[in-house]
Amino acid sequence: MKGIISSKGQITVPKSVRDRYAMGPGTEVEFELREDGALLRKKRAQRNRIWDAIGSLKNSWRWPKGVAHTVDAYIDYMRGGSYEELTGKGPRRRRRK
């Protein structure tokens, strides 16, 4: 495939390439210089640092054993006690719909 460079230095990317790589107006591209020419590629979006932090926990963090899989139970576990023990109240029961 070929493209044409305009007098302003703009390159026309063929429609089949734009469609295949989801390149629309405003898409940033990178040029990599090589011995035999230049390589044009779609610029990768930067990952948010929070996803790197979450990914680092992937194989090291597990839900504590013996703790029910609810937010309330986990918070109780983290605080070092249980809501029922501290207040003497039983767990809330869900209403049937």
pLDDT at 53: 73
Provide the residue ranges of all domains of the chain, joining segments of one domain with +.
Answer: 49-87
**Tens of pLDDT along 29-86?**
999 999 999 998 888 877 777 777 777 777 777 777 777 788 888 888 888 876 666 5
Alpha helices, DSSP H, located in 21-96: 49-56, 71-79, 83-87
Residue written as tokens 């054993």? Answer: 65
| Residue 30 in tokens | 């990178």
pLDDT score, position 84:
64
State pLDDT tens for residues 84-93.
665 666 666 6
In 3D, which of 7, 6, 28, 24 has the Cα closest to residue 15? 24
Are residues 94 and 70 in contact, defined by beta-carbon separation less than 8 angstroms?
no
Please indicate, yes or no, whether the overall pTM of this predicted structure exceeds 0.75. no
Tell me the one-letter amino acid at 1.
Answer: M
